[in-house]
Structure 1
Amino acid sequence: MNNDKLVLGQRLRRLRRDREMTQTDMAASLGVSPSYLNHLERNQRPVTAALLLKLAEAYEIDVRSFAAGGGTRTGPDELAEIFSDSLLGDLGVPRYELAELAHNMPSVADAVARLYAALKEVDRNPDLASGGDARALVTPENWVRDYIQQHRNHYPALEAAAETLGGALSDPLSMAEPMRRRLKEAWGINARVVSQTELGNASQAYDSERRLFLISSLLRAENRTFALAYQLALTEFSDVIDKMVVDAAPPDQGIGELLHMSLANYAAGAIMMPYGRFLKSAEEYRYSIDRLCGDYGANVEQVAHRLTTLGRAGARGVPFFMLRVDPAGNISKRYAGENFPFSRFGGTCPRWNLHAAFQVAGQAVTQVIETPDGQRYFTVSRTIERPIKTGLTTGLQAVGLGCDLKHAHKLHCADGVDFGNPAVTPVGPACAICPRIDCSDRATPPAGRMLAIDTSRKTISPYPFVTG
C-alpha cells in the first residue's frame, strides 16, 4: 500500500456521517484541524499511515478493511452481484470500475443497490409496478436491513439506556420476574400468560386501554422473558426509539414501524444482556454460547444476535456476522459487526456447512472458510427451535455465526483448530458471481462469462468458463 497516494475522502466522510459527527468533532478526536479534515474528505490530501492508526484507535475500525473499502455499505462484491444480472451482464463492467464506484461514490452505489432491489421485488410481485409510487418497490426488510448495517448493528443511545435499566433488574435466577414487577410498579402494566386461543395469531399483545400485556403460553421460557424485555423497551425507551426512527427518515409508515420494532428488539436483547457485564462474561467464557445462555436466561439465537452488537468504542467484542435460515434455505436474518462475506441478494455458498447443522440438530458444526479474495473466517452453525411450535413443521431453523480467523483463538468452540495450518474450505458468494473455476458444487454458470464446455471431456465443475 502506497500511503502517499491513499485518498479515502468518501470513506472518511461516510464514517463521520455514520457516527453522526461534525467535521469539527471528528477533527478534534483525531487531533487535526477541521480545514485539514475537509481537505481529506474532498480528496485534496492523502490519508497518511499515522492518521489511519488514529482512525483505528478512535473508532475501532479495521485499517485494512477501511483502506480497501470495507467501510462502504454497498461494496464491490454487492455491485458485482448486481452487474452479473442478465439485464446488465453483456456490459462486461470490469471489477476495477465497480470498486471505484463503491469507494469513491458510495451514495451512488447505494442508489444502484436500492434500484436493483426494487427490480427484484417487481420480479416477485409484478402488481407493484403499476402502483405509480416507486417507494412501494423498496421492501421494508431491505430498507431496515441496510439501515442496521449502516450502523454496524450497534446503537450507543439504546445501549446506554438498556445497560442502566438491565443492570438494575439483574437477577441470578431470572430477569422475567424483575421485569414484570417493573412494568407493574413503574408503568401500571400487568403482564399475564394466557392460552394461544386468547391471542389468535399473535404471540404477545399489549392492550393499552386495560394496561394489560398478554404473553402466549406456547412461548418458550426464554422467549417469554424476551417478550417482557420487548414491552419494557417500548415503554421505557419510547422517546429514544421515536427519535431514532424520525432521524432515520424511513420512506413510509410501514417501514418506519418495522424499524421501530427492530430497534425495540435490539433494546430488549440489551436489557436482558447488559453490555458491560455481557462482554465481560463473553470474554471470560471465551464466547461459549451455552454458558452465556445459562447465565442470562437467553436462547441460542438471542445470544448469537447479541454477539453481533458488541461494537462499543473502547470496549469492543469479537466482530461476528450472523445468518439465520430455514430448512428450505430461506434467509430470514443477516447481521454483521463488520463485513458479511456472502451474497447480499442471493443465498449462501453450498460449501458452507450451515445446512449441515440440520443433520445433527442441537450440535455445533464448525468450519474454516476462505472467500475468493483470500479472507479466512471461522464459523459455527447449529439448529435452533422456533419460539412457538405449530405442529405443522419441525420448528427448526439454523443459525450461522462467524468471524475473521484472526479472532478465532478467542473462541471456546475453536479449540483444536491448527491456526498455522487449518483445514480450509474454499467458498464464494452466490454462484452467479463466484469466480471459482473448479467447483463441483456450482449450481449455475457465472453470469457474464463465456462457457468453455468440451463435449469430449467432462470437468469437475458442471459449468466450466473462460477466465480473464
Structure 2
Amino acid sequence: MEKTLIGPQLRQLRRERGQTQAEMAQALGVSTAYVNLLENNQRSLSVKMLMALSTAYGVDWRDLMKDDSAHRLANLRDVSRDPIFGDDVPDIQELRAALDHAPKLVEQFLSLYRSHRAALDKMMQLGSEASAGDLLRSAPETVIHDFFRDHSNYFHDLEKAAENLRDSEPFGSDDVYYMLKRRLQERHGTQVEMLPVGKMQDTLRYHDESAGIVYLSEVLDYQNRSFQLAHTLCLIEFAVTLDKLTRDSGVMSEREITRCQVELANYFAAAYLMPYKAFYKAAEDTRYDVDMLAAMFGVSFEQACHRLTTLQRRGCRGVPFFFLRVDKAGNVTKRFNSTSFTLAEYGGACPVWNIHTSFRTPGIIIPQFVELPDGERYFTISRTTERPAFSSQTQDRRLALALGCELKHAPKIGYAQSFNLENEALFSPIGINCHLCPRQACSQRAHQPILVDLPIDTRRRGNTRYES
C-alpha cells in the first residue's frame, strides 16, 4: 500500500459529525494524539485504520483514499498568480497549509474566482447588454470542460473498458476498422454502411438504431472512420459506464449530459485506438514525437495530440499536456488539459502565440517557448490540421492545433532538444487575451485591458493607440 495521507478528509469527516478529536479517537479505538497526527498529515493511513474508519463512520474507503491535492494545489497556485491580486504571491508552503487546514475555504475561494472569470468572459462576449444572470451562469461547454479538468482528463473506467476490449480480440492497427465492424455486427446486430457525400450531405456519422445501421460518410478518411465506429461502440456497449460517470458530474440538463457523454465516448475511442500502456511507452520512447505516434497507431495528428493529454494514470504518468484547437478567427473549438494550466483554461486569443502563425505554414510543426504575465513559462508546438471537405464551398476547413506543457517538462520532448533553455531571449511574452492582459508596450494589443489602466500621455505615442 502506498503512503497515504488523509488529514483534510479526516478533519472534514470529524467536523461534519460535530466531534472533537477525543471523541473521534474513542470511536476509532486510538489515542487523541494519534488522530491529531493523522489530521496534520504527520502519520500515513494504515489498512487497519482505514477499516476502522469505514466501520465506525460507514464511509466508502475509496472516498477517503481520493487524493486530488496535487490538482487543487496547482489550481490554487495558478489563481493566486492572477494579476488582480498584485505581485505579493503566497509561496507554496502557504498554499499547502491553506489546503491542509482550510479546505472548504479554499473551495469557496476557487468557486468565487471561477464566477469572477465567468463574469469577465461573459462581459467580453455580450458587452453592455449582459444581465447579472447572464454573467454568472456557466455555459454548458464550461461545465463539461471543468468536469474533464477536475478528473485530470483521465477516466480509469473507460481506460479499463477499452483495454479489456482490445485484449479480448488482439489485432494490429491496420485491422481496427474491420474488428470494430465485426463487433458491432456480431455483438449488437449493427451493420456499417458507407454512403456518398451527396446522400449524407453535412453529416459524418448517423446511427439508425431502429434499422441497426451506422451510416458513415465517404468523406471520412480511414483514421476517422475507425474513430467514429469506436465512438458508436462505446455509446452502445458501455452506456452504463457513461451514465455512472455523468451521474455525479455536476452536469444538470439533459442536453449537457448528452454533450458530456459524447465527449466521454470520444475519450473511449481514443483509448481504444491507442491503448494506454503501449501508447505511453511509445510516447516516452519517441520523446513525444506526434507524427511518429500517429503513424504507429494509425491515427490522425489531432487524435494523437488529444491522447497525449490523457496520460495521467498513477504510476504511469506521461508529460501533462494541454491541447487547444482554434479556427481562422481565433475561436477555440476544442480544449483539453490534464492539469489546471492558466494558458489551457483561458488562452488562445493572443496573436503573439504561434498557434495563429501556423496558418501561414500548413502542416509544419512550429515550436515556441512562451511566458505569461504572471511569469509562468510553457513549451508549445503548433500545427494545422485539415477537416473533411463536403463541397467546393467548404474546402477551406483548416484549423490550428497547439500542444503544450510547463517548461520543466520540455527536456523530455524531442521538439525542444535543439534549444538553449537558459537563453532568456527564447521566450515570447504572451497573454491570455487583450482584455485581461496587463502587459505594457505590446505591439499586438487590440483592446484596452479591463483590470489595469495603461499610461497615456499626449506627448508620447507608444506601440499602440492604447498607451503612450
TM range (shorter): 0.7 to 0.9
What root-mean-square deviation, in Å, do the aligned CA atoms of Structure 1 and Structure 2 show? 3.8
User: CA–CA distance in 2 between the matches of 1:312 and 1:376?
Assistant: 25
Q: 1:454 aligns with which of 454, 457, 463?
A: 457
Q: 1:378 to 1:133 in 2, by over 3 A?
A: closer
User: CA–CA distance in 2 between the matches of 1:34 and 1:182?
Assistant: 55
Q: Which moved more, 1:188-197 or 1:323-332?
A: 188-197
**SS of corresponding position for 1:263:** helix
Deviations 1:337-384, CA, capped at 9 Å, x for gaps = 123232745743221111111000000011111222333211100000
Q: 1:49 to 1:464 in 2, by over 3 A?
A: farther
Report if aligned partners of 1:279, 1:310 keep a CA contact under 8 Å in 2.
Answer: yes
Report if aligned partners of 2:370, 2:427 keep a CA contact under 8 Å in 1.
Answer: yes
1:420 alignment counterpart: 422
Report if aligned partners of 2:280, 2:318 keep a CA contact under 8 Å in 1.
Answer: yes
Task: Note the 1:128-143 alignment, pairs <5 A.
Answer: 137-143=137-143
Q: Which moved more, 1:400-409 or 1:97-106?
A: 97-106
Report if aligned partners of 2:115, 2:136 keep a CA contact under 8 Å in 1.
Answer: no
Shift of 1:398: 0.3
Equivalent AA in structure 1 for residue 74 of structure 2: G
Equivalent AA in structure 1 for residue 190 of structure 2: I
Task: Note the 1:206-355 alignment, pairs <5 A.
Answer: 206-342=207-343, 344=345, 347-355=348-356
1:55 alignment counterpart: none
Runs of at least 5 residues in structure 2 that lack an aligned partner in the other structure: 1-6, 13-23, 25-32, 46-64
Equivalent AA in structure 1 for residue 413 of structure 2: L
Q: 1:438 aligns with which of 438, 441, 456?
A: 441
User: CA–CA distance in 1 between the matches of 2:76 and 2:195?
Assistant: 46
Q: 1:229 to 1:288 in 2, by over 3 A?
A: same
Shift of 1:155: 0.7
**SS of corresponding position for 1:173:** helix
The alignment status of 1:163 with 2:163, answered yes or no, reads yes
Deviations 1:222-271, CA, capped at 9 Å, x for gaps = 11110011011112211111111112242211101101111111111100
The count of corresponding residues between Structure 1 and Structure 2 is: 410
User: CA–CA distance in 2 between the matches of 1:118 and 1:253?
Assistant: 24
Q: 1:406 aligns with which of 391, 403, 408?
A: 408
- Report % sequence identity: 33
Report if aligned partners of 1:241, 1:263 keep a CA contact under 8 Å in 2.
Answer: yes
**SS of corresponding position for 2:259:** helix
Report if aligned partners of 1:437, 1:461 keep a CA contact under 8 Å in 2.
Answer: no
Task: Note the 1:140-219 alignment, pairs <5 A.
Answer: 140-167=140-167, 168-219=169-220
2:49 alignment counterpart: none
Shift of 1:62: 9.7
Shift of 1:96: 6.3
Report if aligned partners of 1:122, 1:137 keep a CA contact under 8 Å in 2.
Answer: no
Shift of 1:455: 1.7
User: CA–CA distance in 1 between the matches of 2:353 and 2:43?
Assistant: 36
User: CA–CA distance in 1 between the matches of 2:36 and 2:314?
Assistant: 24
User: CA–CA distance in 1 between the matches of 2:233 and 2:466?
Assistant: 54
The alignment status of 1:70 with 2:74, answered yes or no, reads yes
Equivalent AA in structure 2 for residue 184 of structure 1: Q
2:53 alignment counterpart: none
Deviations 1:284-327, CA, capped at 9 Å, x for gaps = 11111111111111111111000001000000011111110001
Q: 1:133 to 1:239 in 2, by over 3 A?
A: farther
State the structure with more CA Rg.
2
Equivalent AA in structure 1 for residue 437 of structure 2: C
Deviations 1:54-84, CA, capped at 9 Å, x for gaps = xxxx999897x86xx4144983467x6xx7x
Equivalent AA in structure 1 for residue 300 of structure 2: N
Report if aligned partners of 2:322, 2:338 keep a CA contact under 8 Å in 1.
Answer: yes
Q: 1:74 to 1:205 in 2, by over 3 A?
A: farther
User: CA–CA distance in 1 between the matches of 2:251 and 2:412?
Assistant: 38
Q: 1:124 to 1:461 in 2, by over 3 A?
A: closer
Q: Which moved more, 1:169-178 or 1:362-371?
A: 169-178
Q: 1:266 to 1:388 in 2, by over 3 A?
A: farther
Q: Which moved more, 1:434-443 or 1:101-110?
A: 101-110
The alignment status of 1:396 with 2:398, answered yes or no, reads yes
User: CA–CA distance in 1 between the matches of 2:332 and 2:346?
Assistant: 10
**SS of corresponding position for 2:456:** coil
Q: 1:270 to 1:251 in 2, by over 3 A?
A: same
Task: Note the 1:103-118 alignment, pairs <5 A.
Answer: 104-111=105-112, 113-114=114-115, 117=118
**SS of corresponding position for 2:450:** coil
2:20 alignment counterpart: none
User: CA–CA distance in 2 between the matches of 1:357 and 1:164?
Assistant: 39
2:432 alignment counterpart: 429
Equivalent AA in structure 1 for residue 259 of structure 2: L
Runs of at least 5 residues in structure 1 that lack an aligned partner in the other structure: 1-7, 14-23, 25-32, 40-44, 52-57, 84-92
1:377 alignment counterpart: 378
Shift of 1:439: 2.0
Q: 1:111 to 1:62 in 2, by over 3 A?
A: closer
Equivalent AA in structure 2 for residue 382 of structure 1: R
